[in-house]
Chain A
Amino acid sequence: MEPLLRVEGLSKRFPQVVANDDLSLDVRRGEIHCLLGENGAGKTTLAECLYGFFKPDAGRIFFRGQPVRLSSPSDAIALGIGMVHQHFVLVPPLTVVENVVAGTPSAGVLLDLAGAKRDLETLCRKYGVDLDLEARVWQLSVGKQQWVEILKALYVGSELLILDEPTAVLTPQETDRFFATLRQMTREGLSILLITHKLNEVMQVSDRVTVLRKGRLVATVQTAEVTPADLARMMVGREVVFRIEREAIHRGEAVLEVEGLRALDDKGQPALRGVSFNLHRREILGVAGIAGNGQKELFEVLAGIRRAGQGQVRLQGASILNRSPGEIMARGVGHIPEDRIHEGLIPDFSVAENLVLGQQRSPLYRRGPFLDPERIAKFARTCVSSFDIATPTVRHPARFLSGGNLQKVILAREFGQCPQCLLANQPTRGLDVGVIEYVHRRLLEKRAEGVGILLASEDLEEILSLSDRVAVLFKGQIMGIFESSQASLEEIGLLMAGVRGETA
């Protein structure tokens, strides 16, 4: 039978890279087809080509056996190709029905909301989607908002649904339910192209998987016929060590004491509602939680970037609450911010200038009132070699570096400035497997040196394998703190969703 979608020899080049190089694959009717690869492997670029967002430089696309040319997403939608991006496009004050109907081509001048609601109810029943159609979008969890996006795609009659990293916003339990619903959708005849870099998801849900590496297609295989280790090797190009060797060390005294911390988010809503914990020397304290439950605000308050309304933060017994970022930094607290490009670096500055960011007034890099370019360059060269940063010279602008190398620049800078404690918010997000291994190793080294590390990550397995203790954050409150050796994934998953179990 002719597959629903067939791609032949698709290539897409960008100025610096060939994002897709001669890719050929097909998606059959009623299958879940995973697109697996590291960041920068070209998964999203391929998806955007199929959705008409990018024009491929070469190659042919067939849909239902017909050659098609997609000049814009509206072409794709007209054909029956829908896509849900990582960032949602929803209107928070409107209801689910209103969000779905607004922007559909058939909407016309007067909206038939009642009719639309009937159609949506039918869709939800058919695919087993559990969603309150009259709820306003801002009232919904991020996971539910994703369903609104999916309903939008289904409502306009998509036969092929492209989902870009849909589980990033879900708890483990939500992910299970999400996958079950996807299964039912494929039984009803839909086809799904699922973009992911998580091996366990591929194994759990897909019929077939296509692995991309550096823009090239490695192979398309039946999921049942491969192991996760096979896929990892295909994805990275070499054997990958999954287990992190974390030697047991006795943790030291508390270095950072946090008590009853309250703070607002950017919209003025309470983001931290009484957070208390102690961070000890020689330990990694993991902060588990779904994105948007106060992690960003917690790290920013501790680093002095955001003002706390109430509470107390003590570093080695001395209060650092609401001190300036510069002062907290000077007392030996390093900070790896969540958004490395916008918060951690100045992309237009050279690698060397970025490595001394925050230290520009230090006598270490000055001669009299002037900056000493030679001392800065010397320090930068030391960092480049000890952190294995791939850059032609230290004078090269940072914006030309890959995400992994940018993160190494931040690590090199912060590691030199954090004798007391290190605040690491999402230090491995979006990095390749090889660099992630490297970051893990360096964090554990830092822990062994006696530094207390606060670590937040969206990857629960990363937290459990790196941390000595895990704190679960939900809606600005700590639901519990566990020794990671005694915590179970299920228990933490429930707490992440705000469910306090009887066993806890």
Chain B
Amino acid sequence: MTGTRRGLRFPYRLERRSDVGRWAQLAWLIVAIVAALIASGLLLLTAGADVVEAFGALFGGGFGGWREILETLVRATPLILTGLAAALAFRAKVWNIGGEGQLFAGAMAGYWAFTLFAGLPPVALFLVVIAAAAAGGAAVGWLAALLKTRFNVDEIISTVMMNYIVMFFLSLMLSGVGPWREQGSYYQQSAMLPESAQFLVLLPRSRLHVGFLLAVLAAMAIHILLTRTPLGYEIRAIGFNPTAARFKGTNVPKVMAVTLAISGALAGLAGAGELFGLQHRLVMDLSNGLGYTGIIVAMLANLHPLGVVLAAILFGGLTNGAFRLQVATGVPSAFTFAIQAIVLLFVISASILSSFRVRTVSDVD
């Protein structure tokens, strides 16, 4: 009978903590990143690379000098915005996976506005273009909210599906029959933007454009929105407990729609930055998954808007480092995706582990 069985007992037990301090969280984050780097090192070993040399290339390529740091900020710019897009929506527990499509929608709306208002002076054109890009992203986000609140369509499905719709629409516009195709070009791309339409470059002989400032300002604005405004209060409230928010008069569908619209607008701005600040023409590989990487950035930042800036810079550096890694050691630069995933897994694991503590128990028998 079970009751009389005596065996060895594990003398420790995991217990949920009620609250985790700020410093403890930071300590766990550092532990997680170090552990992730060790795991990445093991992966590098299996690829036959010299681990010290590989990490040297990775960090040197990302943060090794002034030029590298500026280039890292260039990479970080769209990630800050798509990261904010994900972080804001996730705070309301609205799962916007459509950052990629909203980014393209923003770029397309911005390009369309450029075709209409190309004659405006540069500053006015800049304002028109970013407003149009934000509106384009917001419209796609808002559509997902409409589908959710009116027809109960899960936003995860609708936002992902919308990514394809937007991408194929762009493909159509750039196709041989599309109006945006560069005259006589063999490639699926638009004509080069004139210099007057390109975003201002912040520092000479770098690619860092004004979109970076826009992204940092957006992070501060979203931080203030969440912590200091009634709308931010409602976004957090429906994320934590939509029932209680509804019971106390919050119009939950409306707040969801506004949240998704702002989230889409942020992703749309990322698209404008890539188009007008970096690539200077509309191409199918404008993004290469920036919308999806933004989700990882947001998770890594624990959905905190200012943390998103740091996480985006880290990921921007990793991307650049991976290029040097490939040159120096022959490890393919796709390795960066593996590192990103490893970092994310360790950080999420740590944030769960940090809410537990180990306790010894005395024997019951």
Interface residues of A (CB under 8 A from B): 15-16, 55-60, 63, 66-71, 75, 78-79, 303, 305, 324-327, 329-330, 335, 337, 342-349, 353, 357-358, 360-361, 366, 369-371, 373, 397, 400
Q: List 8 A-B contacts (CB under 8 A).
A: A58-B364, A60-B365, A69-B2, A325-B248, A326-B250, A345-B244, A397-B19, A400-B18
Bound together, the chains give a CA A2 to CA B236 distance in angstroms of 58
User: C-beta contact mask, B14-26 vs A, less than 8 Å → 1, else 0?
Assistant: 0111110000000
Given A57-B362, A324-B249, are A370 and B229 also a contact pair (CB < 8 Å)?
Answer: yes
Which residue of chain B has its CB nearest to the CB of A417? B248
Bound together, the chains give a CA A322 to CA B182 distance in angstroms of 57
Residues of chain B from 228 to 244 with CB closer than 8 A to chain A in the complex: 228-230, 233-234, 236-237, 240-241, 243-244
Chain B interface size, under 10 / 10 to 19 / 20 to 34 / 35 or more: 35 or more
Check if A70 sits within 8 Å of B3, measured CB to CB.
yes
Check if B244 sits within 8 Å of A15, measured CB to CB.
no
Smallest CB-CB A-B distances: 4 pairs: A326-B249, A68-B3, A358-B248, A348-B240
Interface residues of B (CB under 8 A from A): 1-6, 15-19, 224, 228-230, 233-234, 236-237, 240-241, 243-251, 361-365
**B152 CB to closest chain A CB, in angstroms?**
15
Check if A353 sits within 8 Å of B233, measured CB to CB.
yes
**B255 CB to closest chain A CB, in angstroms?**
11
Bound together, the chains give a CA A461 to CA B3 distance in angstroms of 44
Given A66-B3, A66-B4, are A343 and B362 also a contact pair (CB < 8 Å)?
Answer: no
Given A346-B241, A349-B237, A400-B18, are A358 and B4 also a contact pair (CB < 8 Å)?
Answer: no
- In-complex Cβ contact of B249 among A325, A346, A370 (8 A): A325
- In-complex Cβ contact of B233 among A66, A70, A327, A371 (8 A): A371
Check if A360 sits within 8 Å of B234, measured CB to CB.
yes
Check if B230 sits within 8 Å of A366, measured CB to CB.
yes
Check if B247 sits within 8 Å of A344, measured CB to CB.
yes
| Most central of B19, B229, B241, B248 by chain A CB within 10 Å | B248
List the B side residues contacting A75 at CB < 8 Å.
2-3
Check if B365 sits within 8 Å of A67, measured CB to CB.
yes
Check if B244 sits within 8 Å of A343, measured CB to CB.
yes
- Contacts between the two chains (Cβ within 8 Å), count: 108
Bound together, the chains give a CA A198 to CA B5 distance in angstroms of 39
List the A side residues contacting B364 at CB < 8 Å.
55-60, 69
- In-complex Cβ contact of A15 among B1, B4, B15, B361 (8 A): B15
Check if B247 sits within 8 Å of A361, measured CB to CB.
no
Bound together, the chains give a CA A66 to CA B251 distance in angstroms of 60
List the A side residues contacting B228 at CB < 8 Å.
370-371, 373
Bound together, the chains give a CA A366 to CA B250 distance in angstroms of 17
**A202 CB to closest chain B CB, in angstroms?**
30
List the B side residues contacting A70 at CB < 8 Å.
2-3
List the A side residues contacting B365 at CB < 8 Å.
60, 67, 69
- In-complex Cβ contact of B247 among A60, A68, A325, A330 (8 A): A325
Bound together, the chains give a CA A361 to CA B237 distance in angstroms of 13
Bound together, the chains give a CA A56 to CA B361 distance in angstroms of 10
Bound together, the chains give a CA A349 to CA B244 distance in angstroms of 11
Which residue of chain A has its CB nearest to the CB of B2? A75
List the B side residues contacting A369 at CB < 8 Å.
229
Bound together, the chains give a CA A132 to CA B223 distance in angstroms of 62
Bound together, the chains give a CA A344 to CA B19 distance in angstroms of 22
**B98 CB to closest chain A CB, in angstroms?**
26
Check if A342 sits within 8 Å of B230, measured CB to CB.
no
Check if B237 sits within 8 Å of A371, measured CB to CB.
no
List the B side residues contacting A343 at CB < 8 Å.
243-244, 247
List the A side residues contacting B19 at CB < 8 Å.
397, 400
Which residue of chain B has its CB nearest to the CB of A376? B233
Check if B241 sits within 8 Å of A360, measured CB to CB.
no
Check if B246 sits within 8 Å of A67, measured CB to CB.
no
List the B side residues contacting A344 at CB < 8 Å.
244, 247
Which residue of chain A has its CB nearest to the CB of B239? A348
List the B side residues contacting A71 at CB < 8 Å.
2
Check if A335 sits within 8 Å of B247, measured CB to CB.
yes
**A327 CB to closest chain B CB, in angstroms?**
8
**B361 CB to closest chain A CB, in angstroms?**
5
Bound together, the chains give a CA A78 to CA B229 distance in angstroms of 58
List the B side residues contacting A371 at CB < 8 Å.
228-230, 233
List the A side residues contacting B241 at CB < 8 Å.
342, 345-348
List the A side residues contacting B5 at CB < 8 Å.
69
Check if A329 sits within 8 Å of B243, measured CB to CB.
no
Check if A325 sits within 8 Å of B4, measured CB to CB.
no
**A306 CB to closest chain B CB, in angstroms?**
11
Check if A305 sits within 8 Å of B237, measured CB to CB.
no
| Most central of B4, B229, B244, B361 by chain A CB within 10 Å | B244
Given A324-B249, A342-B244, A357-B248, are A68 and B236 also a contact pair (CB < 8 Å)?
Answer: no
